[in-house]
Structure 1
Amino acid sequence: MTSQNEIPVKIHVETVHRQDGQKEEYAEDFDGRLIEIGETVYLRYEEELPENEHATVTFKIAGDEEVQLTRKLEHQKLHLTFKPGKRIPSRYQTPYGNIPVATFAGRMETVLEDDPRAGKLEIDYRLYNGDSLLGDYKIRLQFTA
């Protein structure tokens, strides 16, 4: 039987993106939900975008071996999988068609605590389109109930 437990959490996300000598940094706090199904933890929040749009962002954490990131907008969906030391193909779905992408996670760390329910996620990865490097990324996420 699958057990499911959903609780509200505060989520802090920081990202760094480097491409062609340029560096972009982003930091934001969100009210989100933590959902546990068996041994898998899901973190979900809504990201507000310009022009009254929003994106639903979900992190699926399956221990230290795999993390999945899904970001859905009305007509777009990005689904990335991270496994330490592995290149993982994926697709970026847009209104104009699918764009093949791939991730290579050079570093990944997950820490989950039970009392109080909290944790952190750190991923350093490269994003590719075919053989072309789109950029180097760092995700730093912390959450607490």
Structure 2
Amino acid sequence: MTEKSSLPIKVHLETQITQEGQVESHSFDEDGQLVKMGDSLYIRYIEHVDQQAIAVRFKIDATGRVQLTRGASKDETQLLLYFKEAEQMASVYQTQYGKLPVVTTTNQLVWTIKDQPLSGELVVQYQLEISQQVVGDYKLRLIFTA
């Protein structure tokens, strides 16, 4: 991909959430876009859940840090998470009632990309805390193909 380019992609996302011993799994298949801007890659798509359309963006920067944004503008609910292997990272969850502090502890982060054909995979395992309360353990696996 060139310095600033965009390609249509197919996105497959699998999530597994463990909360209080209960495991919940979801998977989504959506059309999206892979955008390269400078040293960063962006994967963008709209997730359709329960008749709602949620904007999702993954940003992978040159340092290996991943940023996940779910939601739209400032007056809507928006979740911003950061992941970096073996690190705790603070961010914020914007709700209609205000901002809540969020901390992710990343246990595993693996990112691979192939050129022919263009495809990639991102695997993240993390623990999520909101307002200093552990919400659960999460695993996400995102696969894209051009």
Count of paired positions? 143
1:72 matched residue in structure 2 = 71
The Cα of 1:132 is off from its aligned counterpart by: 2.0
User: CA 1:79/1:57 → structure 2, altered by over 3 Å: closer, same or farther?
Assistant: same
1:122 matched residue in structure 2 = 123
User: CA 1:112/1:63 → structure 2, altered by over 3 Å: closer, same or farther?
Assistant: farther
Within-5 A mapping of 1:1-145: 3-50=3-50, 52-63=51-62, 65-73=64-72, 75-145=76-146
Tell me how far apart the structure 1 counterparts of residues 119 and 103 of structure 2 sit (CA, whole Å). Answer: 29
Deviating above 3 A after TM superposition, structure 1's stretches of 4 or more consecutive aligned residues are: none
Does the CA-based 8 Å contact 1:78-1:93 persist in structure 2?
yes
The Cα of 1:64 is off from its aligned counterpart by: 6.6
Structure-1-length-normalised TM-score: 0.92
My pick for the range that moved more, 56-65 or 88-97, is 56-65
Identity of aligned residues (%): 39
The Cα of 1:129 is off from its aligned counterpart by: 2.2
Does the CA-based 8 Å contact 2:71-2:78 persist in structure 1?
yes
Structure-2-length-normalised TM-score: 0.92
Tell me how far apart the structure 2 counterparts of residues 46 and 144 of structure 1 sit (CA, whole Å). Answer: 16
Aligned-CA RMSD value: 1.6
Does the CA-based 8 Å contact 1:71-1:78 persist in structure 2?
yes
Give unmatched runs, 5+ long, in structure 2. Answer: none
